[in-house]
Amino acid sequence: MPDNVTYDFSGKVVLVTGAARGQGRAHALAFARSGADVAICDIAEQVHSIDYPLASAEELETTADEIRGHGVRCLAVAADVRDDAAVGALTDDVVSELGRLDVLVNNAGVNAIHSVEEMPLEVWNDVLAINLSGVYHCSRHAARAMKTAGGGRIISTGSVNTALSMPMNAAYTAAKHGVLGLTRAMAIDLAPHAINVNLVSPGLVNTALLACAEAPHVPEDFFDRLLRVGGQVSLFTDDVVPLEPAVVSHAVLWLASDAAAFVTGAEIRVDAGFSVS
C-alpha cells in the first residue's frame, strides 16, 4: 500500500480464496500488513480442463509463511470452491481456529479461451463452477458466520468482462456477468444483517491467468482481437501494460474498511478505463 494510505484491521479475520498467488496473494498480504489474521485457500492442484498451470500446495504454504511474517495468524487450507461441503468445512475451520470471520474476499477464478462452438462442455462447466458457483458457495457459508458475529464484508473479484466481452471468452464472460448479478442480489438479502456485499472489477492484471491466452489452440492474434473489441487497455498510456495485483488490493481493502460502511451492491472498476474506452 502507498505510505500515505493505511488501514487498521487489527482484531479482524479475513478469508481470501484463490490466495496462493496473483491477486489473492496480494490481497491477503495487504490485510496481513494491516493487522488482520488471514485465512487463505486455494485448490492447490490442476483442473484438467484449464490450459495453464494452477497454483501448487507449495505456493499456498509459501504465501502463508509470508503472511505469518507480518506477525499475524494464518490458516492455509487446500480447498476447491466448487465443492460446497468443502467450503462449509473451510468456513467452520476459520471460525474454530481464528475465532470469527469478518471479511470474505472471493478471488478464486480461472479462464479458458475457446470459441463458443468449439468449447468443450467440461471447460464451460468448470469455469462457471469455479468463477460463479464458487462465489455463491463461499458467500453463503461466510454470511452465516458473519451474522453470528454481527456483520461483515463480502468482496468478490469481477472483471471488465462484467461490462463487455472478449473474443473466445463466453464462459468467463457469463460467469463474471453472473457474479455482478449475484453481488447485487446478496447485497439486498444480507443488508439487514449488516453485511456489505461488493464487487471489484479489475482490467488486465499481471497474473498467471493471462497464460490462458498461450494455449496452442488460441490464435496468435488473440490480443489484437481483444483490443478491437475492448478498446484501449489503459486510458493513461498507449502501451499494453497489465496492472500489478497490489493496485487492485487498494480497492479491496477500502471496501473492507469503515470508510465504505454504506457502500453495498456496488461494482468498483480498477481497469485504468479499459471498460469505458
Where b means 16+ CB within 10 Å and e means fewer, 184-218 reads bebbeebeeeebbbbbbbbbbbebebeebbeeeeb
Distance CA 255, CA 88 (A): 24
User: Phi then psi for 224, rounded to 5 degrees?
Assistant: -65, -40
Percentages (nearest 5) of helix, strand, coil residues in the chain:
45, 15, 40
* Coil, helix or strand at residue 49: coil
Residue 172 known to be catalytic: yes
| Residue 19 cell numbers, joined | 490466495
The answer to whether 42 touches 19, Cβ cutoff 8 Å, is yes
Residue with cell 482490467: 203
* Coil, helix or strand at residue 163: coil
Of 7, 52, 136, 172, the catalytic one is: 172
Those residues with Cβ within 8 angstroms of residue 198's Cβ, 6 or more apart along the chain or in another chain: 153, 154, 155, 156, 183, 187, 255, 260, 263, 264, 265, 266, 267, 268
The answer to whether 146 touches 164, Cβ cutoff 8 Å, is no
Residue 29 one-letter amino acid: L
Catalogue the active-site residues: 172
